[in-house]
Each structure stands twice: as structure tokens, then as C-alpha cells.
Amino acid sequence: EAQVTQNPRYLITVTGKKLTVTCSQNMNHEYMSWYRQDPGLGLRQIYYSMNVEVTDKGDVPEGYKVSRKEKRNFPLILESPSPNQTSLYFCASSSAWTPFYGYTFGSGTRLTVV
Amino acid sequence: AQKITQTQPGMFVQEKEAVTLDCTYDTSDPSYGLFWYKQPSSGEMIFLIYQGSYDQQNATEGRYSLNFQKARKSANLVISASQLGDSAMYFCAMREGGTGRRALTFGSGTRLQVQP
């Protein structure tokens, strides 16, 4: 089944404890992206990648890191999480970076930072 | 300026009736794609329907159709024969061409509640 797999689905952590949210897709997509969803603010792009070793900032990159060492994987790293990073996170991928392809989303990761 | 505007924070519809969810967009790029996603209470984002800027006909996918009015820059979602399982948040989104990062830009969403 074609899908984007995120792990974990739920995570509660403490301020300052480094964490990684994994994302993997099995569709051979070039384009991958991370979004966060917050009430009243909608979905905002954190980082994106157009291919292996090519990553760039989205709208809200502060406090996050990403890497794209393999085409299928695009982990999101929070080196020192803070409570304002409590959010619902989505990884997404697309077969092309033209505007005529939508995203396939992962199931989401609910992160709580206390 | 908002790129995607959804003016209906919440909508109610009776089961088996049709409902239209509004979406207007703003872009100067001639190449763009418009998308609708459904987000049930479980949280996942489910792709519903797509319309490209050069498409001549309105898109349809089962009970979903997209009323694309390019001159008005609107891309309304029509759900026919509503079902209880259609109760969810619905997001309109746009992806532009050009040389930018081609992010998917979302509207604020419409919460649809289907009543029996």
C-alpha cells in the first residue's frame, strides 16, 4: 500500500529533551515536507526537501532540523523542544514539485512538550 | 493577503442532502493546483479532489465535485448525498508553480456536521 508512515503517533516529552519524529514514504517521491497544525493558525510548513540532500526552510523553521540522506526518509528533529512546539505534526510527500500534484500525508504525530 | 479563504467556519447539513463548502483563492501564477482535504476527528488528512488551473472541466470524484470558477477565483467543494461519516473538517489548499518552494497553502477550514 502506498503510504507515508510517521512515528510516533503520540508523544509527550519534557522541555529540552531532544527528540526525532520519523517519516518514511514508499512511493519514490522526490518532494517531502513537514507541517505543523495549530488551532487558529492552520497548517504551516516547517521544512521541505526537493530531493536527497536538498532541504530548505518553510514558514516556521525555528527550533527544528531536518535531513534527507535517503529518498524515502525525512526525519524531523527537535534538538531542544519547548512548550510552544506542542502541536500536531504532519509529514507529507509528493511525486513532483510541480503544482499539479498534491501531497500524501502521514497520519500525524501529536506532540506535547511539558 | 490570504492566499486561500474559507469563509464558513462551520456548516450543518441534513443526511442525504447536498452541501457546498466555499473556497476562494488568490494567485497571480497561471499554473496552480487546487485541492480539498478532509480531516476527521482522528486527525489524519485525507485527499478528496484536485483541480488544475488549466483544466477545462470541473473535477469529480464519486460524491465530491469541485465547482471551479477561474475568473472568480473560486473552487467550491460540493458533497452530494451527505452521509454521517462526512462530518469532519474540510480544508481547501493551493499549490502554485513558479520558482518558489511550491508549498501547499491551506485555508482555515470548514467544520461540517451532518445531522441524521
Which pLDDT score is estimated for B99?
63
Which residues of A are less than 8 Å from B37 in CB distance? Answer: 105
Report residue B33 CA to chain centroid gap.
11
Of the candidates B32, B52, B109, the beta carbon closest to that of A42 is on: B109
In this predicted structure, what is the pLDDT of residue B2? 67
Interface of B with A in 4-63 (CB under 8 A): 29, 31-33, 35, 37, 43-47, 50, 52-53
User: Are B107 and A45 an interchain contact pair (Cβ–Cβ within 8 Å)?
Assistant: no
Contacts of A99 in chain B (CB under 8 A): 29, 31-33, 52-53, 95-97, 102
Which pLDDT tens digit goes with each residue over A29-87?
999 999 999 988 889 999 999 889 999 999 999 999 999 999 999 999 999 999 999 99
pLDDT given for residue A96 in this prediction: 73
Contacts of B52 (CB under 8 A, 6+ apart): A99, A100, B32, B33, B34
Residues B29, B34, B40, B43, CA torsion sign: negative
Stretches in chain B below the pLDDT threshold 70: 1-2, 99-101
Q: Going by DSSP bridges, is the β-strand pair B4-5/B10-14 parallel, antiparallel, or unpaired?
A: unpaired
Tell me if B59 sits within 8 A of B50, measured CB to CB.
yes
Cβ–Cβ contact A108 with B under 8 A: yes
